[in-house]
C-alpha cells in the first residue's frame, strides 16, 4: 500500500514538472513573439533603405511644421519672423509670409486656414488662403497669454493650445502674464478660450490628438513628462495619465497610433508608451515634426537651423 502511494506521488511530481516546463515554454514563446513584434514594428515604420535627407540649413531656428491637404509643409523661422513653405511636388522651399507675428507652432484648421501661435503679441492667429489675418485670441481674463506655443485642431474645429512661458527678446514684459502655464481650448465659433488643463506644468509644449477626437497628448518639455488625456464630448480633458517619462518640444502621430516626440532627435512610442524607435538627427536640438508629402508618408523634421525629411512606411493622420 505504501509503495503504491509512493509511486502515485512520484507520478504526480513528474506530471507537475512537465506542466511547469510546458508553461515556461509558452511564456518564453509569448515574450519572444512580443519582442519580435515590437522590433518588427520599429523596423517597419521607416521605409527600407531610407535615409535622413537635409533639405536646407538656411535658417536661424526652425519650428512649427504643419501640412496642408496637398502635403505641402509650412514651417517657421521664428527669429527671422517668417513662415516658409516646402513644396511636396518640387521639394523646394519658398518664403510664404514675412512678417509673421513671430509665429511658432502652426496647424491647419478644417477649412484650410493656417492657424499660428503668434507670440510677438502673445496671440492666436488665423491666416486664410489670401494671407489675411484674424486674431482669434489675444488675452485670457483680461491679461495677455504667456506665449501660445503649439496647437491641435479637433474634428469640431475646436483648437487646443499650450501656453508656456519662454522669455522673448522682443517682449517688453519680463515675467509671465498668467499665473499658471496651461492648456486652453477654443471651441469653434467662439473667441474666449477656456482652461482645460492646469496641472502644474513646468513648460507645457508639444500637443497632438488622435483622429477620433477621444485622446489628447500633452508634453511638459522642461518637466520631462508627456501626459495622455481622455477628451469628453464637450472638449474637456479628463483621466490624466503619465504616458512616458520624456518631454517634447513638438509631436505628431501616425496611422498606427505611434507618437513621435522630439528633443535629441525623434523618439517614437507606440500607443502603450513603449519605445519602438529612435531617429538620430545630426543637430543639437530637434524642435518639431509632422507628416507631409503627396502621400503623407514623409516625416518632416525641424531642427535648429535646418529641415530634414525621411521617407516612411507609415502615414500621418493630422
Q: How many other CB atoms are found less than 10 A from the CB of residue 151?
A: 24
Q: 29 near 264, Cβ under 8 Å?
A: no
Query: Which three cell numbers mark 19?
Result: 506542466
Same domain, yes or no: 165 and 276: yes
State how beta strands 298-303 and 288-292 pair. antiparallel
Closest CA to 163 of 181, 186, 143, 179: 181
Q: What does the pLDDT look like over 187-233, one tens digit per residue?
A: 999 999 999 999 899 999 999 999 999 999 999 999 999 999 999 99
**What local confidence, expressed as pLDDT, does residue 14 receive?**
62
Same domain, yes or no: 25 and 97: no
**What local confidence, expressed as pLDDT, does residue 318 receive?**
76
Query: Which three cell numbers mark 77?
Result: 523661422
The contacts of residue 213 (CB under 8 Å, 6+ apart) are 154, 155, 156, 231
Q: How many other CB atoms are found less than 10 A from the CB of residue 246?
A: 19
* 316 domain-assigned: no
Closest CA to 113 of 151, 139, 78, 147: 151
Same domain, yes or no: 34 and 137: no
Res. 253: pLDDT tops 60: yes
Same domain, yes or no: 38 and 109: no
Res. 128: pLDDT tops 60: yes
**What local confidence, expressed as pLDDT, does residue 29 receive?**
46
Res. 2: pLDDT tops 70: no
Same domain, yes or no: 36 and 55: no
Q: How would residue 259 be classed by pLDDT, with cut points 50, 70 and 90?
A: very high
* 317 domain-assigned: no
Across 150-157, average pLDDT: 97
CA pair distance 294, 198, nearest whole angstrom? 38
Across 255-260, average pLDDT: 98
Q: What does pLDDT average to over the chain? A: 91
**What local confidence, expressed as pLDDT, does residue 12 receive?**
57
What residues are paired with 240 via a beta bridge?
none
CA pair distance 163, 181, nearest whole angstrom? 6
Q: Is the dihedral of CA 235, 237, 242, 245 positive or negative?
A: positive
Query: Which three cell numbers mark 115?
Result: 492657424
Q: What is the CATH number of the domain that holds 216?
A: 2.120.10.30
Query: Which three cell numbers mark 160?
Result: 487646443
* 77 domain-assigned: yes
Across 25-37, average pLDDT: 45
- Residue 14: domain span: 1-44
Same domain, yes or no: 190 and 113: yes
Res. 304: pLDDT tops 80: yes
Q: How many domains does one find in the chain?
A: 2
Q: Is the pTM of this model over 0.85?
A: yes
Q: What does the pLDDT look like over 50-59, one tens digit per residue?
A: 999 999 999 9
Same domain, yes or no: 303 and 195: yes
| Strand order through the sheet with 265-269 | 251-253, 259-263, 265-269, 275-279
DSSP state of 142: T
The contacts of residue 43 (CB under 8 Å, 6+ apart) are none
Distance of alpha carbon 20 from its chain centroid, rounded?
Answer: 45
Q: What does the pLDDT look like over 54-97, one tens digit per residue?
A: 999 999 999 999 999 999 999 999 999 999 999 999 999 999 99
CA pair distance 291, 107, nearest whole angstrom? 12
Across 248-270, average pLDDT: 98
Residues of the chain above pLDDT 90, percent: 86
Amino acid at each position: 500500500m505504501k509503495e503504491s502511494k509512493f509511486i502515485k506521488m512520484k507520478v504526480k511530481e513528474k506530471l507537475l514538472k512537465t506542466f511547469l516546463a510546458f508553461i515556461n515554454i509558452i511564456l518564453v514563446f509569448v515574450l519572444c513573439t512580443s519582442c519580435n513584434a515590437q522590433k518588427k514594428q520599429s523596423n517597419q515604420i521607416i521605409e527600407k533603405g531610407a535615409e535622413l535627407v537635409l533639405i536646407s540649413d538656411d535658417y536661424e531656428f526652425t519650428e512649427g511644421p504643419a501640412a496642408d491637404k496637398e502635403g505641402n509643409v509650412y514651417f517657421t523661422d521664428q527669429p527671422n519672423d517668417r513662415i516658409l513653405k516646402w513644396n511636396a511636388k518640387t521639394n523646394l522651399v519658398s518664403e510664404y509670409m514675412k512678417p509673421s507675428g513671430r509665429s511658432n507652432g502652426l496647424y491647419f484648421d478644417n477649412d484650410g486656414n493656417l492657424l499660428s501661435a503668434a507670440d510677438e503679441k502673445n496671440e492666436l492667429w488665423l491666416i486664410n488662403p489670401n494671407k489675411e489675418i484674424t486674431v482669434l485670441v489675444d488675452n485670457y481674463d483680461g491679461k495677455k497669454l504667456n506665449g501660445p506655443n503649439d496647437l491641435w485642431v479637433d474634428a469640431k474645429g475646436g483648437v487646443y493650445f499650450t501656453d508656456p512661458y519662454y522669455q522673448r527678446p522682443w517682449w517688453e514684459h519680463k515675467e509671465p502674464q498668467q499665473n499658471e502655464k496651461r492648456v486652453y481650448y477654443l471651441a469653434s465659433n467662439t473667441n474666449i478660450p477656456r482652461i482645460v488643463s492646469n496641472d502644474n506644468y513646468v513648460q507645457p509644449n508639444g500637443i497632438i490628438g488622435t483622429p477620433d477626437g477621444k485622446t489628447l497628448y500633452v508634453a511638459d518639455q522642461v518637466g520631462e513628462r508627456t501626459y495622455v488625456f481622455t477628451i469628453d464630448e464637450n472638449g474637456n480633458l479628463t483621466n490624466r495619465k503619465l504616458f512616458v517619462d520624456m518631454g517634447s518640444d513638438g509631436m505628431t502621430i501616425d496611422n498606427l497610433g505611434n507618437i513621435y516626440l522630439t528633443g535629441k532627435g525623434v523618439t517614437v512610442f507606440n500607443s502603450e508608451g513603449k519605445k519602438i524607435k529612435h531617429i538620430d538627427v545630426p543637430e543639437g536640438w530637434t524642435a518639431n515634426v509632422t507628416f507631409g508629402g503627396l502621400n503623407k508618408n514623409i516625416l518632416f523634421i525641424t531642427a535648429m537651423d535646418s529641415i530634414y525629411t525621411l521617407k516612411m512606411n507609415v502615414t500621418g493622420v493630422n
